């Protein structure tokens, strides 16, 4: 097997109706830098999984042993009445979490092994349009600015900050509903997107997200919010298909040094929505995602790519 689930470590972390909630959505997995501590942020929904106006509220589960065991859900004290769309980023070797605050602003905090800092806010960032944060952030290799993939009023764009004090919106990317990005080298940013036509594609930027290439279709009909992570010389591009085709959670592999897409591998045909991925302390990948018809949050451990694969035409 080119990629494999480490035996015995795939598990359901939390299921629908656990702890009195109708369902849990939008998993965001992060690891505290240089430690084996992980935090899984979720949206907890009281009445419905599918109400577009119900964003839920953010909760967190914590693991001190690389995801082998997890705590019960914790609520985070916040001055925001509503918190959703949690996503993490690493800045100056510290792990941060950002989330939407009261639908039109953002809040962010630094995470420690056992501590979470006080909240920082930027209220009404969107001038009254709803915000969603779609995936983990990345740091510009030239300017050290943090970039987060967001939508404001359904328009996809980047949110960036040079100092973690003031955040600004970047250029809008047309035809895109959600996405995640990673630097393949110091000048090329890959954006894996879900387009308005409900397929996933890769587009490139050579100027740190100011302009983007034409859409380059990689895999049609993968319908849900993608994830991407860089580890050693490989970018892992991950998406789920919402139980439409039975393909489940699919991992595409991009070899940076050769600038080619390699073959892909599917690990769980029950995976349905919204994957999130981290590199574990032991070097494996942990991927958490919604499984079934949003009936549970499941996490699986995947061994990193080692070996040869035949390039595929993208």
Give mean pLDDT, residues 241-248.
64
More confident residue, 238 or 265: 238
> Which range (58-62, 122-126, 155-159, 255-259) has the least confidence?
255-259
Task: For domain 11-302, give its CATH number from 2.60.200.20, 2.120.10.10, 3.40.50.150, 3.20.20.140.
Answer: 2.120.10.10
In our burial notation (b when 16+ CB lie closer than 10 A, e otherwise), range 272-297 reads: bbbbbbbbbbeebbbbbbbbeebbbb
Question: What pTM did the predictor assign?
Answer: 0.90
> Which range (12-16, 127-131, 243-247) has the least confidence?
243-247
Show me where the domains of the chain are located: 11-302
Note the pLDDT of residue 223. 62
Note the pLDDT of residue 3. 44
Note the pLDDT of residue 56. 75
What distance in Å separates the CA atoms of residue 220 and residue 6, rounded to the nearest whole number? 28
Asked if the model's pLDDT at residue 310 lies above 50, the reply is: no
Tell me the pLDDT band of 198, cut-offs 50, 70 and 90: confident
pLDDT digits (tens, 9 = 90+) for 93-105: 899 999 999 999 9
Tell me the pLDDT band of 244, cut-offs 50, 70 and 90: low
pLDDT digits (tens, 9 = 90+) for 83-92: 999 999 999 8
pLDDT digits (tens, 9 = 90+) for 29-75: 999 988 999 999 999 888 777 766 677 789 999 999 999 899 999 98
What distance in Å separates the CA atoms of residue 289 and residue 116, rounded to the nearest whole number? 24
What distance in Å separates the CA atoms of residue 154 and residue 150, rounded to the nearest whole number? 9
Asked if the model's pLDDT at residue 262 lies above 90, the reply is: no
Report how far Cα 135 is from the mean position of its chain's Cα atoms.
3
Tell me the pLDDT band of 248, cut-offs 50, 70 and 90: confident
Tell me the pLDDT band of 269, cut-offs 50, 70 and 90: confident
Give mean pLDDT, residues 199-215.
84
Q: Percent of the chain beyond pLDDT 70?
A: 89
Tell me the pLDDT band of 302, cut-offs 50, 70 and 90: confident
pLDDT digits (tens, 9 = 90+) for 152-182: 998 999 999 999 999 999 888 888 888 999 9
Tell me the pLDDT band of 218, cut-offs 50, 70 and 90: low
Tell me the pLDDT band of 8, cut-offs 50, 70 and 90: very low
Asked if the model's pLDDT at residue 313 lies above 80, the reply is: no
Give mean pLDDT, residues 5-22.
73
- 3-state DSSP of the chain: CCCCECCCCCEEEEECCHHHCCEEEEEEEEECCCCCCEEEEEEEECCCCCCCCCCCEEEEEEECCCCCCCCCCEECCCCCCCEEEEEEEEECCEEEEEEEECCCEEEEEEECCCCECCCEEECCCCCCCCEEECCCCEECCCCCCEEEEEEECCEEEEEEECCCCCCEEEEECCCEEEEEEEECCCCCEEEEEEECCCCEEEEEECCCCCCCCCCEEEECCCCCCCEEEEECCEEEEEEECCCCCCCCEEEEEEECCCCEEEEEEEEECCEEEEEEEEECCCCCEEEEEEECCCCEEEEEEECCCCCCCCCCCC
Asked if the model's pLDDT at residue 28 lies above 90, the reply is: yes
Say how many C-beta atoms besides its own lie within 10 A of residue 196's C-beta.
12
């Amino acid at each position: 097997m080119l990629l494999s689930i480490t035996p015995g470590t795939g598990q359901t972390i939390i299921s629908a109706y656990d702890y009195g909630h109708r369902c849990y959505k939008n998993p965001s997995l992060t690891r505290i830098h240089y430690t084996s501590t992980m935090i899984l942020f979720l949206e907890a929904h009281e009445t419905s999984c599918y109400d577009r106006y119900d964003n839920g509220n953010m909760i967190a589960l914590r693991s001190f042993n690389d995801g082998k065991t997890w705590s019960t859900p914790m609520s985070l004290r916040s001055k925001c009445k509503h918190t959703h769309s949690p996503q993490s980023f690493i800045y100056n070797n510290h792990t941060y979490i950002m989330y939407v605050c009261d639908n039109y602003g953002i809040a962010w905090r630094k995470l420690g092994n056992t501590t979470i800092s006080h909240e920082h806010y930027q209220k009404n960032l969107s001038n009254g349009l709803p915000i969603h944060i779609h995936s983990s952030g990345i740091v510009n290799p030239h300017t050290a600015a943090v970039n987060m993939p967001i939508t404001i009023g359904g328009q996809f764009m980047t949110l960036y900050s040079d100092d973690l004090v003031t955040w600004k919106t970047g250029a809008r990317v047309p035809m895109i509903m959600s996405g995640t990005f990673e630097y393949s080298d110091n000048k090329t940013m890959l954006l894996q997107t879900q387009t308005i036509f409900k397929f996933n594609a890769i587009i490139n930027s050579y100027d740190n997200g100011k302009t983007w290439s034409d859409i380059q279709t990689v895999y049609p009909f993968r319908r849900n919010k993608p994830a991407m992570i860089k580890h050693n010389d490989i970018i892992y591009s991950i998406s789920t298909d919402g139980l439409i085709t039975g393909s489940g959670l699919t991992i595409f592999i991009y070899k940076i040094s050769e600038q080619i897409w390699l073959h892909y591998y599917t690990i769980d045909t029950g995976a349905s929505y919204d994957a999130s991925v981290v590199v574990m302390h032991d070097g494996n990948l942990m991927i958490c995602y919604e499984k079934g018809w949003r009936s549970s949050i499941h996490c699986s451990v995947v061994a990193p790519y080692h070996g040869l694969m035949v390039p595929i035409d993208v």
